[in-house]
Amino acid sequence: MILPTLLTFLSALHVSHASVTVYHQAPMAAQSAAANYTAPAAYDPTILNAPPIPNPAPSVQFTLELQSSSQAVQGLSIVQNGPFLGFSIETSVVNQVRELKIEFKHSSFLQVPFLNLMANIGQRAGSVHIRIGGNTQETATLVASIPDGKAIEKDKVSASNPTRTPGLLFTAEIIYMLANISALAKVKWYLGVPFNDTANLRLQIAEVGQAILGDNLIGLQVGNEPDLYSAHGHRPATYSPFDYFGEFGTMVQAINNDANIPAKNKLIGPSVATGPWTPEMVWDTGFISSYTNSLAALAVEHYPDDNCAAMYGLGSPKDPQTEFPNYLNHTAGKSLIAPYLNSASIAQAAGKPLLMFETNSASCGGFPGISDAFGSALWALDYGLQMAYSNFSGALFHVGGQNVYYNVCCFVSPPTNQSTFHKWTIGPIYYSILISAETFGPNGNSQIIDLNANNANAFTPAYAIYEGGNIARVALFNYMTDQSGANSYTATISVGGGQTGAPNGTPAQVKVKYLIAPSVAEKHNITWAGQTFGSTFESDGRLMGNLDVNTVTCDTNANTCQVQVPAPGFALVFLTDSAFSEVTPENPKTFPTTSMTRTLNTATVDPSVLATSNGHSGSDRNKLGSTGKGRANGAESLREVVPGIFVLLAMGLGAVMAGSGIARLGRVHV
Ligand SMILES: *[C@@H]1O[C@H](CO)[C@@H](O)[C@H](O)[C@H]1NC(C)=O
Ligand SMILES: *[C@@H]1O[C@H](CO)[C@@H](O)[C@H](O)[C@H]1NC(C)=O
Ligand SMILES: *[C@@H]1O[C@H](CO)[C@@H](O)[C@H](O)[C@H]1NC(C)=O
Ligand SMILES: *[C@@H]1O[C@H](CO)[C@@H](O)[C@H](O)[C@H]1NC(C)=O
Ligand SMILES: *[C@@H]1O[C@H](CO)[C@@H](O)[C@H](O)[C@H]1NC(C)=O
Ligand SMILES: *[C@@H]1O[C@H](CO)[C@@H](O)[C@H](O)[C@H]1NC(C)=O
Ligand SMILES: *[C@@H]1O[C@H](CO)[C@@H](O)[C@H](O)[C@H]1NC(C)=O
């Protein structure tokens, strides 16, 4: 966003071929010796107060009368896909190369928790969408090789440029890594094409990206927040939407002339921050009609607020407690989207998807106590569903690392030199993305409508989701916090105007999954259908605990189903068996963490081995049985799963990594 978020793409993905896990300290982080680890910013303990119950309080009883067939419903969204919500990861990792802590030689390693987190979503949504890009994409260059065999490195020559955006060099190995992730966890990628110098275009990422990723490359972003280029000193002060239009045309022509880029129609623009320019200012240049044959999608980027004062001393300071209520009602998402409703209909008329390419609760790292608390899970899910209802076709939440103060939206890997004894931390918005996958399902034929529930009360919004033309699910939110139960509500759902029984009337019973926490301010005790990713440093990317699904028996005389929603909470109501089963994996595909020593419980997997193994499910794992008796003894049950997986013997402290690389990696025989 306004200042590039410093990110840890590489701490999410321990890349190597001789490289790198990069960790850059948080500006305000205190770092102590390992045994007395002091958490960096991502683990800020700030807990806010939940806002009081609104006055007047919303009614705690309301009815939702639904049509069984979409044909009778006015105002349904366009057709939506399972991976509607995805992730955006800044390319700029390499900002942190100075802080290199780990260097492996000769091979690539993927982080198991990351693979699990992606597989969870892929299994429910059919695929996962991730964008690698951001401000740093503009000055990145894909090169044939980097001395020392590194896969990614900060370009030392451009590092001193006054805008502080580092040039970034990377090799095809990074693209192979993405391909490996795709093979393992159904991830599809958006990549950014460098656009800082349209007189000397660098198209290698498009060429190599298409060659290696094929159909798993779903878009190439051309220009990131061009409305901020002049403010950031990347273009002259006069830079206008028409200048962007012209430069985009230069790119289109170059790609059309490049035989090594076979698919010409993958481009994405204009990705305005909606700061100095509105999207309409770009549409008015003739952008869409001129480049329709090249455009895969149209995009915008936006954050509702910023925390730049706390992070960088820019602008006026904001008090998180004062900001908190702004995230805790249905108006929040609606007002964020209002400036784009016209663009959504322009996009639809042009037959192009409209994407929210980068967003989150606040730029400059988010707010402590908001961005990392349960309330933001409700906010992000409601905002996401509102975008879907408003005819966006996807939205990507920007993922921060722990080195970005407060920014713990989705998932954070532990600091490199702590990763031997700390596991990952899963932020609240990861739950939102997972649940949106269940809300839309894997079939790519869902439509959603905002029900204006409870007389359009802003604290109790609800949506209905149709799949293949039939009512499938209902999503119910309660933004209030009241542990007494007095503000839990009961939604009385009926289908088909009084007809009995599926498929045309009210079902005899429905299943309900709850997303709950004791308060919107809660950071640790968050569960989805009884399962959790745990608190700080507790996750290996798999849901923990037993699946807990409520069955509600409906009143077949009255043709009503009564579903309760606690304060705070979210309920996803499944109106048919298939609506439930298709998003409730019986054998979650996971990549168990594997390790060989008593204290070490973070492992990495050689992707080329796993790629051919096609991953392993929990059930496979059981069949394989334990051969690691007496050795494997980490926090989860650690077993060797895949013949030939290299596991990390000593990923910690000192000894490690320093150079001998593979010699320190163990090989597990099953
Ligand atoms: C971990 O890294 C930090 C930052 O570089 C350093 O200050 C600290 O001493 C390291 N801890 C250990 C146990 O190596
Ligand atoms: C951790 O803290 C304890 C007590 O505060 C101290 O005795 C110990 O030496 C510390 N350990 C390290 C590795 O600094
Ligand atoms: C664009 O970025 C590349 C790579 O960092 C750099 O070499 C080049 O000088 C930049 N061009 C302009 C016009 O800024
Ligand atoms: C995984 O990456 C390696 C290079 O590191 C590459 O040779 C291989 O083709 C990749 N596998 C897939 C399935 O993309
Ligand atoms: C609801 O959210 C909006 C937008 O974020 C905010 O302006 C408004 O004050 C909130 N309403 C209440 C009653 O908190
Ligand atoms: C979304 O598009 C559909 C189909 O064109 C339309 O009926 C609906 O009104 C649109 N929704 C909004 C919120 O504009
Ligand atoms: C976690 O939150 C639930 C309500 O969401 C509550 O019932 C439970 O007691 C809490 N558990 C702990 C350990 O605080």
CB-ligand 2 contact for 31 (6 Å cutoff): no
Give 33 Cα–ligand 1 centroid separation in angstroms: 6
Write the CB contacts of 348 (distance below 8 Å, at least 6 apart in sequence): 78, 354, 391
Give, using CA atoms, the residue closest to atom 9 of ligand 6. Answer: 75
- Compute the distance between CA of residue 178 and CA of residue 130 in angstroms, rounded to an integer: 10
Ligand 5 center–CA 59 separation, angstroms: 18
In 3D space, the residue among 662, 669, 667 whose CA is nearest the CA of residue 108 turns out to be 662
Give the Cα separation of 73 and 21 in Å (integer): 51
| Nearest ligand, measured from the Cα of 459 | 5
Distance CA 266, CA 221 (A): 8
List residues near ligand 6 (CB under 6 A).
75, 77-78, 348, 389-391
Locus of tokens 């939110």: 477
- Ligand 3 atom index nearest CA of 167: 5
What separation in angstroms does the CA of 257 have from each of 248, 250, 262? 14, 11, 10
pTM, two decimal places: 0.84
Q: From 80, 77, 142, 20, select the one nearest 416 (Cα to Cα).
A: 20
* Domains assigned to the chain: 28-591 (3.20.20.80)
Protein residue with its CA nearest to atom 12 in ligand 5: 325
CA of 341 to the centre of ligand 6 (A): 9
In degrees to the nearest 10, what's the CA dihedral of 247, 248, 249, 251? 90
- Which ligand approaches the C-alpha of residue 185 most closely? 4
Q: What is the pLDDT of residue 423?
A: 75
Residue whose CA is at the smallest distance from ligand 5 atom 2: 326
Q: Whose structure tokens read 């110098």?
A: 197
Q: Are 370 and 44 in contact, with CB atoms under 8 Å apart? A: no
Residue 512 identity (one-letter amino acid): V
What is residue 1's predicted lDDT score, i.e. its pLDDT? 37
Stretches where the chain sits below pLDDT 70 are 1-43, 91-110, 155-166, 400-408, 413-422, 498, 501-503, 590, 592-670
Q: How many CA atoms lie within 13 A of 380 on its CB side?
A: 38
| Helices and strands per DSSP (H, E), number in the chain | 17, 31
Q: Is 158 in the pocket of ligand 3 (CB under 6 A)?
A: yes
Query: Which of 26, 48, 12, 38 has its CA nearest to residue 371?
Result: 48
CA-CA-CA-CA torsion sign (434, 436, 440, 444): negative
Residue 35 Cβ contacting ligand 2 at under 6 Å: yes
Exposed e or buried b per residue across 569-592, where buried means at least 16 C-beta atoms within 10 angstroms of its C-beta: bbbbbbbbeebbebbbbeebbbbb
d(CA 165, CA 182): 29
Q: What is the rounded distance in angstroms from the CA atom of residue 291 to the CA atom of residue 265?
A: 9
Please, what's the b/e burial string for 204-239 (b: 16 or more CB within 10 A of its CB; e: otherwise)?
bbbbbbbebbeebbbbbbbbbbbbbbbebebbeeeb
Give the list of residues 6+ apart from residue 211 with CB closer than 8 angstroms, or none. Answer: 260
Ligand 3: centre distance to CA 169 (Å) = 12
